[in-house]
Amino acid sequence: RLPYALLKNDSVVNKGYLLSSKDVCTLDILPKILETGVKSLKIEGRMKSPYYVGLVTSIYRKYIDLAQSNKPYIVEDSDREKLMQIFNRGGFSTGYLNGKLGKEMMYTKRPNHIGIKIGEVVSYNKNKGYVKVKLEKDVELGDSIAIKESSCKISELMLGNTNIKILKKGQIATIGRIYGDIKTKDYVYKTVSNSLNKEIEQKNSKENIKRKITGKISLKNNQPISIEIIDELTKINVKEQKDVIPVKAEKTGISSERIKEQLSKTGNTIFEFSNIEVELDDEIIVPISSINELRRDVLEKLENQLKTKIKRNEVIKINTVKQKRQERARGKVEVNLCFNKLSNNINYKNFKNINNIYLPIEVFFEKENEQKLQEIFDNFNTYVIIPAITKGVFNKLILEKLQKLNFKGLVLSNISQLNYLKDLREKDFELIANYTFNAFNNYTIEELKKLGFNKIIISPELNKTNINNLSEIVQKELIVYGRTLLMTSEYCTIGTFKGCQGLCKQGKYTLKDRLGLKFPVYTNRINCNNLIYNSKITSIEWKDLNIDSIRIDILEETEEEIKNIIEVHRNNQRLEGINYTNGNMNKEI
């Protein structure tokens, strides 16, 4: 949600909140979503207000019920407006559910809530902070408005010189007080609706959702009173009894209705009886206070049992191979190179004492790479990396290409890619889990080992201590040099606003942030995903780390630079300066 400038060969070609997408709203296609058989819908409410959560949840509940009824599915304009009022970034989109929308998904002018347009500025008194607005929608005291970068909560609202609480569409409102660079014809937006918030508060205050329970109470001659209740959701049942013996009534005994009435008074507890069964002997009485006490005690017991049930079980330690840090003798650790793209200016056979070379699957689809690929395959063990995001026809193309290649190993980047293996049974290759598996601890490593992985690329989020505590049941490789891939985006920052004309091939692109840092932007030309890399290059000393191999990731470096990088890291050193970082090596998680 930050501002960026898109640079082509260091010249600005676009500016704004280039990575800020509109919020997703799926009300219009909700019936189609439900038809797919989904079992739950997730509403994103991180960092949002209780008003947002209350409104969005209630509106979606309303339209889920409507979609599952026999009534016509029509979304009311008033509900659309409420959603826009509570939060929107330049409107809504359906995300990728209706296919790629490009710039229609984005709002690059502002990164935050813009509200609903309620009118235009007629005049502005900058000394007093009064703005006159020709209203297109109603406005009231307590609302908040925004005009460009200025905003205020309405504390003064006038029609002419008369103070008033509410003004209607078509009237000229004088609103105070707001200060800033405000001019005639500027649009005025309502960012907070006082009346809508009150409506949400009122609705939410009436809702007190409780857990349904059933109960069975026993009042028998010469026996202590007792009760059993069952939580309908978990089927947990608890029993309670009191050392209170019913006595024979002199006149009228207690009735079942009175007992049910007392038990139903669950008050501020989380429970509500859906059914109460009463076993009652004739003409007996018992103190009402005893029934109340029995109810309180049994509900408290049930609540405690429910709390115990949802507590996490004690972690069971996995019996892995003994974990110990090993001193790595110089030259014992493998050195592997990963080329994220190929260059005609590099003679790959000139790299000496390299164990393996990793190549992304994308380079195999570019005809101009054929000669360089042959050079690499003739001189090195070659591993193929599958990107983290693959879908649609890309999956089919990848599998077809893998079946034709004679590779040493396959680096998978997400667990679904294990599906490729069933069509590659005739090939013999090493299986590696890329860093995107986020092998964060030994529990993850144990599971990856079970899935058939021989090696893991260590998560870049781990520090030295974490790395040295990793299990040795698989080989471990650390990326000691390279730019970290920060984001893979379906949305193309390069081609979206001018139309895709192969612009990504016509220069070097970076995103420049407000601090002046530049983030390289590349494009996967098979599916047009944007790849955004870190502005700084990671360079790590590895000599004290419990690893089996190191990986050097190359992006735009020249042949001579690559040779120097190899030599530096082979000798347990790192590159230093303002362009480099040692990642998370010295950071606590």
- Three-state SS string over 373-420 comes to HHHHHHHCEEEEECCCCCCCHHHHHHHHHHHHCCCCEEEECCHHHHHH
Three-state SS for 575?
A: coil
Question: Stretch 290-299: mean pLDDT, rounded?
Answer: 96
Are both 183 and 272 inside the same structural domain?
A: no
CA distances from 128 to 178, 361, 401 (A): 9, 64, 70
Are both 432 and 556 inside the same structural domain?
A: yes
Position 321 pLDDT exceeds 50: no
Position 563 pLDDT exceeds 80: yes
| Residue 425, preceding peptide bond in cis (omega within 30° of 0) | no
Residue 316 covered by a domain = no
Question: Stretch 42-54: mean pLDDT, rounded?
Answer: 88
Are both 222 and 281 inside the same structural domain?
A: yes
Are both 31 and 86 inside the same structural domain?
A: yes
Residue 386 covered by a domain = yes
Residue 487 covered by a domain = no
Are both 350 and 476 inside the same structural domain?
A: yes
In 3D, which of 391, 387, 384 has the Cα closest to residue 431? Answer: 384
User: How many separate domains does the chain show?
Assistant: 4
Residue 126 covered by a domain = yes
Decide which of 263 and 48 is more confident: 263
Residue 507 covered by a domain = no
Tokens of 82: 């409420």
Three-state SS for 345?
A: coil
Tell me the pTM.
0.76
- The DSSP code sequence of 295-326 is HHHHHHHHHHHHHHHHSPPPPPPP--SPP---
Give residues with Cβ within 8 angstroms of 304, minimum separation 6.
none
Are both 234 and 256 inside the same structural domain?
A: yes
Are both 127 and 66 inside the same structural domain?
A: no
Q: What is the pLDDT of residue 392?
A: 79
Residue 77 covered by a domain = yes
Position 328 pLDDT exceeds 60: no
312 — pLDDT class (breaks 50, 70, 90)? low
Q: In whole angstroms, what is the distance from residue 277 CA to residue 230 CA?
A: 12
Q: What is the mean pLDDT of the chain?
A: 90
Given 163, 192, 221, the domain boundary residue is 192
Q: What is the pLDDT of residue 69?
A: 95
Side-chain half-sphere CA neighbours of 416 within 13 A = 6
316 — pLDDT class (breaks 50, 70, 90)? low
Residue 127 covered by a domain = yes
Q: What is the pLDDT of residue 502?
A: 59
Least confident span in 141-150, 451-460, 468-477, 505-514: 505-514
Are both 228 and 360 inside the same structural domain?
A: no
Q: What is the pLDDT of residue 320?
A: 46
Spacing of C-alpha 98 from chain mean position:
20
Q: What is the pLDDT of residues 227-256, one digit of tens each?
A: 999 999 999 999 999 999 999 998 889 999
Are both 90 and 144 inside the same structural domain?
A: no
**End-to-end Cα spacing for the chain:** 25
The CATH number for 432's domain is: 3.20.20.70
Q: What is the pLDDT of residue 119?
A: 97
Q: What is the pLDDT of residues 491-547, one digit of tens each?
A: 778 866 556 565 556 678 999 999 999 999 988 877 778 899 999 999 999 988 999
Given 105, 135, 154, the domain boundary residue is 105
Three-state SS for 347?
A: coil
Are both 382 and 477 inside the same structural domain?
A: yes
CB neighbour class for 347 (10 Å; exposed up to 12, middle 13-18, buried from 19): exposed
Question: Stretch 165-174: mean pLDDT, rounded?
Answer: 96
Residue ranges making up the domain that contains 150: 116-192
Residue 353 covered by a domain = yes
Quickly tell me which residue has 């429970």 as its tokens. 271
Are both 563 and 428 inside the same structural domain?
A: yes
CA distances from 278 to 143, 238, 257, 405, 567 (A): 54, 16, 9, 75, 84
Position 268 pLDDT exceeds 60: yes
Given 78, 105, 132, the domain boundary residue is 105
- Three-state SS string over 11-65 comes to EEEEEECCCCECEECCHHHHHHHHHCCCCCCCCCCCCCCHHHHHHHHHHHHHHHH
Are both 475 and 361 inside the same structural domain?
A: yes
